[in-house]
Chains A and B, each alone.
Chain A
C-alpha cells in the first residue's frame, strides 16, 4: 500500500564513469526509485539490479567497492557532491539532488568509482606502521601504556586508510612526493605505543627523507574531511616537533 506512494518518488544521480584505467572518463545520468533510509550504496545496488540510464537506454552496471557498510573499512570512499566521503554513510535523504558521484581521482582509477589505494599501504610499509614483537625467543610482556595516553592514541587508531585525507590535500598530486596525512598520524600512533616507541627514530627518519612530512603545506583540509574525526593536523604538528627535535639531536650527535 505504502509502496505505491513512495514509488513515484525518484533519486537522480550523475555518475562519472571510466571503462578502463587509461580510458577517457564520461558521465551518465540515472534515475532510480526512492526507498526510505537509502544510502548511496543502496542506490548503486539499484543501478546494478536494473542497469538503465535515465533515458531508458541499457548500460553496463556501475562498478564500486564496498565492504563493511558501517564506515569502518574505508573501501567505499568516493567524491559525493564534490566532497570525498564514504558512500555507506552518505544518506540519500541528506544529499542534494542530482547526486554527483565521482571517483577519488587523486588515486589511479581502476574502473568507474573503483580506485587503487595502494600508495597508502606502501606508505604504511615505508614508515613501519606496526609494532615489531617477533623474536627468536619469547620477549615477554611489553611495558604498560598510561590510560590517558591510550585514550588519545585510540582516536588515531580509528584510521581506516580510506584515502579521504589524501583526496582533500592540495599537496597530494603527481608533482609532489608528499606521503599524505594518514601515514604521518600512524607514525604518531605507533611512536606513542610503549613497545612501538623502541623504533620511534626509524619512523621519524623515514619522514625526514624525500616524500616525507615536509610536503605538508598546512591547508588543513585533511582534518576537516576525515570521516573518523582523527586530529590529523595535531598529529602532523606533533610529528613536526619530533622530527625537528630528532634533526637537532642528530646534528649535535646526541
Chain B
C-alpha cells in the first residue's frame, strides 16, 4: 500500500458507490420481485438479468473485481482503526466502529452467499431457473435464515452509512447541518433497503418457490 494510499482509499470509496452501491440496489429490486410477484416474478427478474448484453463483463467489471478490491482494501482499512466507543460514546463514533464491524461481517457473508448461490450456478450444480428453489431451501433452514438476516442488515447498514461517509469524503456534504440531514436521509435508506431485503427473504420461505422450481425442473427434464 506504499506510494499513494490517498488514491487507493479514493478508489475504495468510489467503488463502494459505483458500482457496488448500485449493485446492492439492483439486488434489492430483483429480490423484491419474489415478494411482489412470487416465484414467477422472481424467475422473470432473473431471466431479465441473464438476457442483459455482455452479462459476463457486466458481472466481471460491475461486481467481481470492484467487490474484491473494496473488500480486501476494506479489511486493511478496518485493521488500521481503533475502536474507542467506550471512551467516546457519540453516535458518529458508533457509526464509525459499526461501519468497520459490518464491513467485516459483510465480507464474510458475501463470500459465503456467493459460494451458496453464484458459485453453484457456475459449476453447474444449480440452474438459473432453480435459484428460487435454492433460496427456498436456504431461507427455510432456521440457522441459515438467521445468518442471512444478520448478513443483510450488516450489508445494508454498511451501504447506507458508507454513502453518508462518501458524501463527506468527496467534499459534498461539508457543514454540520448538511451532514446531519444527510445522516437522516441515509438512515431512512437503511430502513427501507433492509425492510425490502427482509421481506423478500421471508417470501422465499413460501411453498410456491419449492413447487415452481420443481415444475421448472420437471420441464427441463422432459425436454
Contact = CB atoms under 8 A, between A and B. Distances in A.
Interface string B72-93: 0000010111111001101011
B185 interface: no
A176 B81 contact: yes
B127 interface: no
Interface in B145-202: 164-165, 168-176, 179
Contact of A234 (B95, B99, B174): B174
Contacts of A239: 171
Nearest to B164: A218
Interface stretch (B3-11, B21-29, B111-119, B210-218): B3-11
Interface residues of A, number: 40
A170 B82 contact: yes
Contact of A224 (B80, B81, B90, B169): B90
A147 B96 CA distance: 36
A174 to B, nearest CB: 10
A212 interface: yes
A177 B4 CA distance: 12
A89 interface: no
Contact of A214 (B9, B79, B81): B9
28 contacts: A168-B84, A168-B87, A170-B83, A170-B96, A171-B81, A173-B80, A173-B81, A208-B4, A209-B6, A210-B1, A210-B2, A210-B3, A210-B4, A210-B5, A217-B99, A218-B92, A220-B90, A224-B88, A233-B176, A234-B174, A237-B171, A237-B173, A237-B175, A238-B171, A241-B170, A244-B170, A245-B171, A247-B10
Interface of B: 1-6, 9-10, 77, 79-84, 87-88, 90, 92-93, 95-97, 99-100, 164-165, 168-176, 179
